Structure formats: C-alpha cells, structure tokens
Amino acid sequence: MLFLWLYMFYSCAGSCAGLTTRGSPAPLRAAPPLPPLLPGEPGEESSLEEQRAAPDAGSPISSFFNGSGTKRLPQAIIIGVKKGGTRALLEFLRVHPDVRAVGAEPHFFDRNYERGLAWYRELMPRTLEGQITMEKTPSYFVTKEAPARISSMCKGTKLIVVVRDPVTRAISDYTQTLSKKPDIPTFESLTFKNRTTGLIDTSWSAIQIGIYAKHLENWLLHFPMGQILFVSGERLISDPAGELGRVQDFLGLKRIITDKHFYFNKTKGFPCLKKAEGSSKPHCLGKTKGRTHPDIDQEVVQRLRDFYRPFNMKFYQMTGQDFGWD
C-alpha cells in the first residue's frame, strides 16, 4: 500500500507540474532552476534553451521537494547595453546573497511579450523575503516598446544601464559578429552610407546602439531619472568594486561585494571573481571575453568619434555623469 501511495504521489507531482492558471504562477511547482551563467563576453547572449539543457538543471521531482521561496517578477532589470559589460555586472552581482537572477536573457519585453507575465514570472528563480529578483537583456535599451511594457508591469522597477565608449562598443559588436560570420563586409564599409562624403550609416545596429541619448529619451517618458542607474563599462574593468558599490546602494543592498571579491587577470586584461556564485574556485568570464579587435582605419575611428561627440555630450548632461569618452 505504501508503495502504491508513493507511486501515485510521484505521478501526480510529475503530471501536475505543467499546470498553471494564465496570469498567475503555479503555487506549488518549483520549475527546474536555471543553471549558473554560461561563460561569455559581457553582453553576449545565451539562449534559454542552451541554459536549460545544461546537465545540472535538475529534475522536476528534485525541484519539487527542494524548491523554497516564491517566484516574483523582477524588481530590477539590467536593460543594456549590448557589449557594454552587462554579463560581467550580472555575474558580479550574483555573488551577493540577496540577489537572485536568471542566467539566460529572457528577452520578454522585446521578443516574447505575447507569452504573458505568467510565463515571464515562471522563468524567475525563487526568492526569500528580502532578496531581489533580477534579469538582464541588453537589447531592451534600444527596443522602442520596452519602457512602456516594463512600466506596465511595475512602475517602480529599477533599471540599470551599462554603457561604454560607443566607438569601442561598436568595434566590439562588429568583432563578435565577425567571429560568427567571417565573410561579412569590413567595419569601414559598414560604417558609412558613403565613404567619400563620410556620411555615417545610423541604420547599422552597431552604430545605432551607441546613440545613448536618443534611446534614453524614450525611457524618460516612462521612468524618472532616479530609477535608472548608469554603470560605466570602463570603470567596471578598472574599479569593479567601486562600480558594484554604486549598484548595491542603488538596489538598497548592504555593501557585501568589495575589493576582496576580485583579482585582476593580467593575461585576460580584466577583473575576475575570486569565488563565483555557488563555487569555491576563481572564475573569469569565458574565452570570448577580450577578443582581439581587428585593426580599424584610424581615420574611420576619428570620424566616428566626431559623429558621437554631440550625442555623448547630451548624454552626459542628461545623466549628470561625464564618462570621459572624449
């Protein structure tokens, strides 16, 4: 009889795991937790499918018994920018015991919005009282519909934007694409609509993303400036503890992540964690971090700096921060 009871219980746990009422999360089920972040360059995307396929994802039965806390919609979101340092920031933040974050990029507010908030909530890790739920999807910052959609979810959502010299960011963006598609045109040819006239092609996403002031205007229609924190991608490398201090203050967290958590890897040229989340071993971002950039014609680089300068100046004025890109 005991065996029969156990068999029925396990069968119910498995079959009921997928049931949920649209608009609200399933109250008992603990979905297989997303594994730790896959190594990658800051801003480099990893799909939910890749993350869920990892060997330590856990079974529905073990998650059912081991799950604790509640799945909540995120109180804070890293919304941008691509190739700015978002993955580094998220990995660093996950060291904090009061931060729980999705490893993969959900892309809810740009690609999956029609799936509904219940689907989005189900992606989130379980949190205990006092912990913050977070996610990061760098493409939100340049998605026109994202600000209104996030505001509709919760007007009090805290937003974090990691920004980087737009010229360096564009070259890094191109370098990532080049690694996947070696036959793409040169950076120089993609930069200009007409090389002779020097007219910059702002329709190219690598260029367009770096016009930060333009994108920020869209966000300020829905969120006050005080709800947005701008993190310097350059300082995240040169002074990770200092930038993480600002982020912890912004999120209302105790300053637990400090200098003692980092060491500088001279070979890679960027800071690494002495101990990553859930590990006792040092951890650096993957081999794609710090790719060697192709040699770009310095005249083209200067043309881009001249192009971005007025937008950078406006961005400095809007944020009250001089990021030192000029």
CB 61: neighbour CB atoms within 10 A? 12
Residue 220, SS3 per DSSP: coil
Pairing between β-strand 192-194 and β-strand 132-136 as defined by DSSP bridges: unpaired
Q: Is 111 annotated as a binding residue?
A: no
Residue 249 neighbours by CB under 8 Å, 6+ apart: 255
Catalytic residue among 71, 82, 83, 158: 83
Does 87 carry a binding-site annotation?
yes
Q: Which residue has the tokens 């958590």?
A: 261
| 309 assigned to a ligand binding site | no
DSSP per-residue string spanning 273-288:
ESS-TT-SS-B---TT
- The verdict on whether residue 292 carries a ligand-binding annotation is yes
What six digits make up the tokens of 73?
A: 């919609």
- Residue 164 labelled as part of a binding site: yes
Tokens encoding 63 = 């998650």
**H or E segment at 147?**
helix 146-153
Q: Please indicate if the annotation marks 274 as binding a ligand.
A: no
Alpha carbon separation from 234 to 102, 168, 194, 209, 228 (Å, rounded): 24, 10, 31, 17, 18
**CA–CA separation, 257 and 236 (whole Å):** 13
Q: Is 261 annotated as a binding residue?
A: no
**Residue 267 annotated as lining a ligand binding site:** no
Please say if 83 is a catalytic residue: yes
Is 15 one of the annotated binding-site residues? Answer: no
Q: Binding site annotation covers 179?
A: no
Known catalytic residues are 83
Q: Which residues are annotated as a binding site for 3'-phosphoadenylyl sulfate?
A: 83-87, 164, 172, 289-293
